[in-house]
Amino acid sequence: MTVRFTSLLTFLAAALVAGVSSATEVGDAVNGAKVFQQCKACHQVGEGAKDRVGPQLNGVFGRRAGVIEGFRYSKSMDRMGNDGLTWTAQTLDAYIENPKALVSKTRMNFKGIKDAADRDDLLVYLRQFSDDPANFPEAEPTATATDHDIDPAILALQGDPEYGEYLAGDCSTCHQRDGEDAGIPSITNWPAEDFVVAMHAYKRKLRPHPVMQMMAGRLSDEEIAALAAYFEALE
């Protein structure tokens, strides 16, 4: 085998490895550490991490929401954990993008990270602090990007609040129109965009709750927009 041919094989092998790496590893942990600076005021991760305003994030991948002993979670987070919300690359990505769309009335007072690449990088960084990152099925060995963004055309739909009122009977069976939270979160005066994002999260089974998944699955994009417009304007 000639040196030239050997060099060619080496080049092709390197290219193949690079291609496999780019297909299975998404994100830059170094940049993720920089993105985490936005989180450090409330969260710690790594050796010696402790709960602060928010819970420590060691081992967050694969952990059910609301289970760190001694930490005081919001009622909404406790409820979502009891409903089965588990932190995976997919659910963490949705939560980091828009916390209140995934967990209504969360105490996490953070607008979210809208840049998908920054979220990918942050997840790769956080994954390093899980017990055995390579064993998580959604990544080999880092977080796999999940495109769950809503089509801008869906967010741009102008809902008809009168039609929303007509549809709201099923919602009001559980959710109180007067804004009271009697064990079930209020959706009165909820921003329309957050409502739409949350309902589509249920529809795509990103947000766990079998009843809500069923209800959202029955609704068209236009019907969700109408309900969002109605509940946003409800006094």
The model carries a pTM of: 0.58
- Asked whether residue 121 falls in the same domain as residue 34, the answer is yes
- Asked whether residue 104 falls in the same domain as residue 183, the answer is no
User: Is residue 43 domain-resident?
Assistant: yes
Write out the residue range of the structural domain in which residue 165 sits.
Answer: 152-233
- Asked whether residue 164 falls in the same domain as residue 203, the answer is yes
- Asked whether residue 108 falls in the same domain as residue 184, the answer is no
- Asked whether residue 40 falls in the same domain as residue 116, the answer is yes
User: Is residue 78 domain-resident?
Assistant: yes
Q: pLDDT tens, position by position, for the chain (235 residues)?
A: 444 434 433 433 443 333 333 333 457 889 999 999 999 999 999 999 999 999 999 999 889 999 999 999 999 999 899 888 889 888 898 899 999 888 888 989 898 999 989 998 999 899 888 875 554 444 443 444 444 578 889 999 999 999 999 999 888 878 877 767 666 778 888 889 889 988 998 888 888 787 788 889 999 999 999 999 999 998 7
- Asked whether residue 213 falls in the same domain as residue 157, the answer is yes
DSSP 8-34: HHHHHHHHHHHHHHHHH--S-HHHHHH
The rounded distance, in Å, linking the Cα atoms of 235 and 224 is 19
Count of the separate structural domains present in the chain: 2
